[in-house]
């Protein structure tokens, strides 16, 4: 194993000078810094992160506990978080929560064992938060909730605005003359699903339409909304994966989007303009959510006593023709 002593010998400087260059604890003359950096490159020296953390009082790493489902949204979110962390000189340690309370608790404790300086967490479905959040608060671990938010006011969190945005989709469909507007949701028990259903219900009320439980499918399937005596004529897809399933079902039934069935979707998809007609969507500011989450966490690490913040970032409407316009 290459040591700091090896780097110092090759560069012709003291071990202390190498330490100052690596840890940036004291200014070092430019030519000396260049010799040290060249020696590091030649030897492949990586240092001892654990030992350095004991000296510096931090690992310069952030933990991210999130469900690594096959979902483009989370892939984009993780990329944005990692980019912002790297830009601020931090590495990112990523662990899969598998979207279950027990796995989430194991993941968070594993990140804590790695001595990360702070945690970014997308809570699992159901009661997962009740297992993890009290523990993190009790231990004063700098934490930011991402995407799936709570009503709590004592923790930093950032995610999309779901209620008013979904209400707006329903309003748009109602203005086009639809009176049987349904919603298809995916995973039950997560905050984003509940908030989008609430927004759907709010939109119905604003449009003067009655709530009908038969027009709400929490199974992820479109079929229950169509196999009725008075079927839905317009549907809100609550997320990316639901949208895919809905399009398959509509195609299997020979339904033309925008004509036989109006469809709008929460979540932009990369192929939205490739289908016919193009899909009307709400595009989440995923990159901004990721960057903001890291900034919130670094602010919490720097100032543990500052008031917690909840930040909701609004999606933008990508108005196309699947809604019937």
- Per residue in 142-176, pLDDT tens? 999 999 999 889 999 999 999 999 999 999 999 99
Looking at the domain 61-161+286-317, which fold is it? Rossmann fold (3.40.50)
Name the CATH architecture for the domain at 162-283: 3-Layer(aba) Sandwich (3.40)
End-to-end CA distance of the chain, in Å? Answer: 66
- Does pLDDT of 185 surpass 50? yes
Q: Are 308 and 153 in contact (CB under 8 A)?
A: yes
Q: What stretch(es) of the chain map to CATH 1.10.260.40? A: 4-56
d(CA 267, CA 75): 13
The domain over range 4-56 is classified in CATH as 2.60.130.10: no
Tell me how far CA of residue 236 lies from CA of 44, 170, 174, 216, 289, in angstroms: 54, 7, 12, 10, 23
* pTM of the entire predicted model: 0.84
Q: Tell me which residue has tokens 């709008």.
A: 264
Q: 83, exposed or middle or buried, with CB in 10 Å at 0-12, 13-18, 19+?
A: middle
Q: Are 141 and 119 in contact (CB under 8 A)?
A: yes
- Does pLDDT of 322 surpass 50? yes
- Does pLDDT of 200 surpass 50? yes
Bridge pairing between strands 216-217 and 234-237 = unpaired
Tell me how far CA of residue 142 lies from CA of 99, 102, 304, in angstroms: 21, 21, 7
The per-type count for the chain, helices as H runs and strands as E runs, is 12, 12
Q: How confident is the model at residue 25 (pLDDT cuts 50, 70, 90)?
A: confident
Q: Which of 73, 119, 116 is nearest to 97 (CA)?
A: 119
Give me the mean pLDDT over the 307-315 stretch. 97
How many other C-beta atoms are found inside a 10 Å radius of the C-beta of residue 117?
19
Q: What stretch(es) of the chain map to CATH 3.40.50.2300? A: 61-161+286-317, 162-283
Q: How confident is the model at residue 272 (pLDDT cuts 50, 70, 90)?
A: very high
> Which helix or strand (DSSP H or E) is residue 316 part of?
strand 316-318
pLDDT at position 47 is 73
């Amino acid at each position: 194993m290459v040591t700091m002593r090896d780097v110092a010998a090759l560069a012709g400087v003291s071990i202390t000078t190498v330490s100052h260059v690596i840890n940036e604890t004291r200014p070092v003359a430019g030519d000396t810094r260049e010799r040290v950096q060249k020696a590091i490159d030649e030897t492949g020296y990586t240092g001892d992160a654990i030992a350095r953390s004991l000296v510096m009082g931090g690992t310069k790493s952030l933990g991210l506990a999130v469900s690594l489902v096959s979902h483009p949204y989370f892939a984009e979110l993780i990329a944005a978080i990692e980019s912002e962390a790297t830009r601020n000189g931090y590495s990112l340690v990523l662990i899969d929560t598998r979207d279950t309370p027990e796995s989430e608790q194991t993941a968070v404790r594993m990140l804590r064992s790695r001595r990360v300086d702070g945690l970014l967490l997308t809570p699992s479905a159901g009661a997962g938060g009740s297992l993890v959040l009290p523990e993190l608060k009790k231990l004063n671990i700098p934490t930011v909730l991402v995407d799936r938010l709570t009503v709590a006011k004592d923790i930093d969190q950032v995610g999309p605005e779901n209620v008013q945005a979904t209400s707006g989709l329903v309003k748009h469909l109602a203005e086009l003359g639809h009176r049987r507007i349904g919603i298809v949701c995916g995973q039950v028990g997560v905050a984003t699903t509940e908030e989008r259903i609430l927004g759907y219900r709010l939109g119905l009320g604003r449009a003067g339409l009655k709530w009908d439980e038969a027009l709400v499918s929490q199974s992820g399937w479109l079929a229950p909304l169509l196999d009725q005596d008075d079927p839905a004529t317009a549907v809100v897809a609550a997320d990316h994966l639901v949208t895919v399933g809905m399009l398959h079902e509509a195609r299997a039934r020979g339904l033309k989007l925008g004509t036989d069935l109006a469809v709008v979707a929460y979540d932009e998809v990369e192929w939205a303009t490739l289908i016919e007609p193009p899909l009307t969507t709400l595009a989440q500011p995923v990159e901004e959510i990721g960057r903001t989450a890291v900034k919130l966490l670094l602010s919490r690490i720097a100032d543990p006593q500052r008031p917690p913040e909840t930040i909701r970032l609004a999606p933008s409407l990508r108005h196309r023709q699947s809604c019937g316009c």
